[in-house]
Structure 1
Amino acid sequence: MNGITRRYGDVVALSGLDFEVPGDRYIVLLGASGAGKTTLLRVIAGFEEPDAGQVLLDGQRLDGVPIHQRDVGFVFQNFALFPHLTVTDNVAYGLRHRAERRMTDPAEVTRRVKDMLDLVGLTGLGNRGIGAISGGQRQRVALARTLVTEPRIVLLDEPLGALDANLRDRMCEELRAIRQRLGITFLHVTGSETEALTMGDEVAVLSGGRIAQCAKPTELFARPVSAESARHLNAWNIFPGRVRDGVLSTGAGPLPMPRPLAEGSQAEMAIRFDQIGVCLPGQAPGGQDHFTARYIAGEFNGSTALAFFRADDGGLVQVVDHLGAPRLPDLREGEEYALYFPPTEALLFEKTPS
């Protein structure tokens, strides 16, 4: 995709977006609600046309090409199944009714549908009605209906959003396994950073109508290249401030910078939740940068626990503790603590004037 722009009146959903999706990969597009994730999928699929830019697939331009000629599969968030048809007839629908390369041999349709139901784990359920199967099975039917037409790329619009937590975890593994067996590209959009990091061979962060970063999950999580990327991961505390006397003056107090910036310039410092330690004021270990904040509450999440603090300006600071190797002291609500971190782990992003 080169320079894709899509507007809705005065609202710019996509702004000169450049994005290359590699073949034979599971790519996840991560963005907040309203970031333009679904718009981008609809532009690729042909449900909408861009106001500017080009969409290309294997070097072939797609913008302006009718939907049925794009060879692009789309799995909708609500599955969009036909409730009056059986599982088999839902999966066979595209083969029987597509505008081009329509399949008229009943035996071939039956074979293709059976193979696809076996692939997605629905063996023996072909004669059931859509109302007689579970949410996870409907998800598989929607996927099978898309895959049976052998598209060159499959677009998935928040495909796990309608499933409960346990089923989402199972479907994450199954979607990745199915994609790997087929050897085609999946482009999956989500607002969940956990889902994105779990699913993606690569994760692209969509922010401000553009791709802020595209990287392997481990790289993205450990070293986001911008504050926009860091915010989408729900793992980094972001401290905006201005450079004064060689330090970053923030709402949490003056923070030493990992590299020098010009006096008076604006910047944001990011410190990951699990890189922050907690101790009594005045007891921060040597070689660690620190600031003070007041403990307000904790949240137990099974294998981890989150501790929430208020900085001097009222901003929320989060610290994560892994219960298999706890490292935080007993915390008392309303008490002030020193929050310390290794200087090498703080990321500094200079803000460029707009």
Structure 2
Amino acid sequence: MSAVLQLSNVVKTYGDLRALDGIELSLPEDSYVSLLGPSGSGKTTLLRVIAGFEQPESGAIRFSGKDVSNTPPHERNIGFVFQNFALFPHLSVYDNIAFGLVNRAVDPVTDMKLLDRKVRDMISLVGLAGLEGRATTQISGGQKQRVALARTLVTEPQMVLLDEPLGALDANLRARMRSELRMIRERCGVTFLHVTGSETEALAMGDTVLVLDRARIAQQGDSDTIYNRPCSPAVARFLNCYNLFSGKMADGGFATAQGLLGFQGHPQRAADPAYAIRYDRVDIRPAGAAATADEVQIEGTFIASEYTGSAVNAFFSLDDGKVFEVEAHLSHRAPENYEPHRRYALAWKREDALVFA
């Protein structure tokens, strides 16, 4: 699959702040790409640089094989859906969607029959039929999201940038809009670059997932790779599904405050040494239970449980005060009841551990 967008050593600064620090990335055409990162990592800045709203200090941006580093935004053929939707409250749904076609600087649509056909086709595509005449103040959050998307897509961009497009929606609507966005993208056949701070959203939606950390692309891959093989402690930490221990390599294991933790395979190279085990890879047993030769086991004191619908997360305090989390999926078995302030053994397979050294 050929690349629709390539960034080479892109740097963007604001005074002494390095918002983008040598960004290198290549995005495939006709795909859904999730851009995941903590607050302040540079996600929105990266979108604005790609769109042309911000000018980088150095580096190259190639779009559809052409260098667009100095091309103004309206000539890049890249759509942008803003986090707050940025709809015109004095215009109807129909007129909001038509606005970009009528008012664009390059080749505006003046044929009213052609305009009407394009707008109504897009209204049908995003599921807004029957709402054409309503003001945008009279529709729901999910409908506003569709209007913002339709207004962008109707201009037929080769790529669409979405800045936290589901952030303003409630939980149920976010879940519904995930599948709708994917279906709309597939029908249009363009690349979506979707910025989010939610690891669940990024992994669920992206054919490709980018993880941005400290102004750099920390990892790029499919959801399965990102989730199961994070390339650094920072990525593992941000996925919010790994217990991490600091320490160092020693005596064939990883030395931590909890003792020497075993593992299989080779450590991954990383600037910050760490040992990681995923929440759902841990088994909870009575204190003092024997571990098998292929297991690692520590002990902790049960604090509390949290029910999330599909799983129960149990929290334990280790001897050094660190909180250790265990996730039990309810599809596997009925939830266990643990006694507060009681000690339990926490065990996992050596092969399930990830080590960064």
- What is the TM-score with the length of structure 1 in the denominator? 0.95
Compared with structure 1, are the counterparts of its residues 152 and 319 closer, same or farther at alpha carbon in structure 2 (3 Å cutoff)?
A: same
- Stretches of structure 1 that go unaligned for 5 or more consecutive residues are none
**Residues paired across the two proteins, number:** 347
CA contact (8 A) 2:233 2:272 kept: no
Which stretch shifts more, 27-36 or 329-338? 329-338
Aligned partner of 2:185 among 175, 179, 182: 179
Supply the AA of the counterpart residue of 1:162: A
Note if 1:218 corresponds to 2:219.
Answer: no
Over the residues paired in the alignment, what is the CA RMSD in angstroms?
A: 1.5
Compared with structure 1, are the counterparts of its residues 266 and 303 closer, same or farther at alpha carbon in structure 2 (3 Å cutoff)?
A: closer
1:329 Cα shift?
Answer: 4.4
Supply the AA of the counterpart residue of 1:15: D
Distance 1:164 1:308 in 2: 27
Deviations 1:138-175 (A, max 9, x none): 00000000000000100000000000011011100100
Distance 1:90 1:140 in 2: 11
| Corresponding position of 1:45 | 51
CA contact (8 A) 2:81 2:149 kept: yes
- Stretches of structure 2 that go unaligned for 5 or more consecutive residues are 1-6
CA contact (8 A) 1:153 1:186 kept: yes
Aligned partner of 1:302 among 290, 306, 309: 309
| Corresponding position of 1:319 | 326
CA contact (8 A) 1:30 1:232 kept: no
| Corresponding position of 1:339 | 346
Aligned partner of 1:160 among 131, 141, 166: 166
| Corresponding position of 1:10 | 16
1:332 Cα shift?
Answer: 1.2
Distance 2:188 2:85 in 1: 21
Note if 1:85 corresponds to 2:72.
Answer: no
1:254 Cα shift?
Answer: 2.3
DSSP 3-state at the match of 1:142? helix
Which stretch shifts more, 312-321 or 71-80? 312-321
Supply the AA of the counterpart residue of 2:305: G
1:266 Cα shift?
Answer: 6.4
Distance 1:164 1:266 in 2: 37
Distance 1:165 1:70 in 2: 34
Distance 1:12 1:284 in 2: 51
CA contact (8 A) 2:263 2:351 kept: no
Distance 2:97 2:139 in 1: 14
| Corresponding position of 2:237 | 231
Aligned partner of 2:300 among 270, 280, 293: 293
Deviations 1:67-118 (A, max 9, x none): 1111010000000000000001100111011111111111111110000000
1:41-190 correspondence to structure 2 within 5 Å: 41-190=47-196
Distance 2:273 2:352 in 1: 16
Distance 1:289 1:22 in 2: 41
1:212 Cα shift?
Answer: 1.2
DSSP 3-state at the match of 1:206? strand
Supply the AA of the counterpart residue of 1:302: G
Compared with structure 1, are the counterparts of its residues 118 and 284 closer, same or farther at alpha carbon in structure 2 (3 Å cutoff)?
A: farther
1:52 Cα shift?
Answer: 1.2
CA contact (8 A) 2:36 2:199 kept: yes
Supply the AA of the counterpart residue of 1:69: E
- What is the TM-score with the length of structure 2 in the denominator? 0.94
DSSP 3-state at the match of 1:56? strand
Moved over 6 A (4+): none
CA contact (8 A) 1:288 1:342 kept: yes
Distance 1:28 1:266 in 2: 25
Distance 1:44 1:260 in 2: 37
Aligned partner of 1:28 among 24, 28, 34: 34
